[in-house]
Amino acid sequence: MIEVAVKLLQKNNYKITKQRLSLLEYLSHFQEQYINVVAVDKYMHSIYPGMSHNTIYRNIKEFEEVGIVEQRTKDGNASVKYQCDFIHQHHHHFICKHCGKVQEVEMCPLDYFEQQLPGCRIDEHHFELYGLCADCIKLSKDQPD
């Protein structure tokens, strides 16, 4: 699962260290859900007590820059998830407000907004949908009132 990520790092001239491999392996478990960066930092310190916070955060930032992870900030808290689509890195998400599960949304609404902004240039955008996933809806219906 991390072979593509290792190739991306090598292509971008990053050394493949045991710490980076451990971080990749850990993050690869979070392909369908964001994890708080503080929790990632805590996990890495449990394995490598001498590893600095700056090194962990720098690696996460580098992983984001080469497209290995997706990062977001909500309510002032930074979270990260492993890339769910290495082929189409530009994509959007539906995020369940109950369980946190992330699902990829394939359509990009950028054309719709470009039509409303004639003469403007959009340089970047982020698009996320929030609600309840099918599993959480089913669970809520199965619960007695």
Q: Provide the CATH number for the domain around residue 133.
A: 3.30.1490.190
Does residue 135 share a domain with residue 73? no
Please give the pLDDT value at position 20.
96
Please give the pLDDT value at position 86.
61
Amino acid, res. 40: V
Q: Exposed (0-12), middle (13-18) or buried (19+): which is 76, by Cβ within 10 Å?
A: exposed
Specify the 3-state DSSP secondary structure of 18: helix
CATH of the domain at 14: 1.10.10.10
How many structural domains does the chain have? Answer: 2
Residue 57 lies in a domain: yes
Does residue 47 share a domain with residue 9? yes
Residue 120 annotated as binding site: no
Amino acid, res. 145: D
pLDDT in tens, the chain (145 residues): 789 899 999 999 999 999 999 999 999 999 889 999 999 999 999 999 999 999 999 999 999 999 899 888 878 889 999 887 666 567 777 888 888 888 888 777 777 778 888 888 888 777 778 889 899 998 888 776 5
Residue 55 lies in a domain: yes
Boundaries of domain holding 36: 3-82
Residue 125 annotated as binding site: yes
Supply the Cα-derived Rg of the chain in whole angstroms. Answer: 18
Does residue 64 share a domain with residue 101? no
Please give the pLDDT value at position 92.
79
Q: Contact 108/99 with Cβ under 8 angstroms?
A: no
Please give the pLDDT value at position 61.
95
Residue 84 annotated as binding site: no
Does residue 40 share a domain with residue 73? yes
Residue 133 annotated as binding site: yes
Q: Which helix (H) or strand (E) holds 94?
A: strand 92-96
Does residue 129 share a domain with residue 109? yes
Residue 77 lies in a domain: yes
Q: Exposed (0-12), middle (13-18) or buried (19+): which is 8, by Cβ within 10 Å?
A: middle
**Structure tokens, 65:** 């820059």
